[in-house]
Amino acid sequence: MADGAGENIDESKNDVLDVIWMILGAIVGVVLVTKYVQYARLAHGEKVSVEQGIFALGIFVAPCILSTRIAEIFRIEALRGRMSWGTYWTVLSGMAASIFTFLGVTGIDDIIQVLEYWSSLPKGSP
In a domain, 56, yes or no: yes
In a domain, 92, yes or no: yes
In a domain, 87, yes or no: yes
In a domain, 124, yes or no: no
Q: Work out how many domains the chain is built from and give that number.
A: 1
Render pLDDT for 94-122 as a digit per residue (tens, 0 to 9).
999 998 888 888 778 878 888 887 787 77
Angle of CA points 18, 53, 116, to nearest 5°? 70
In a domain, 123, yes or no: no
Give whole-number Cα distances, 46 to 31, 40, 42, 43, 58, in Å. 20, 12, 7, 5, 19
Render pLDDT for 50-101 as a digit per residue (tens, 0 to 9).
998 899 999 999 999 999 999 999 999 998 999 999 999 999 999 999 988 8
In a domain, 3, yes or no: no
Rounded to the nearest angstrom, the gap between the alpha carbon of residue 57 and the centroid of all alpha carbons in its chain is 13
- What pLDDT is attached to residue 4? 46
In a domain, 48, yes or no: yes
In a domain, 120, yes or no: no
**Which domain covers residue 65, as residue numbers?**
11-111
pTM of this prediction? 0.74
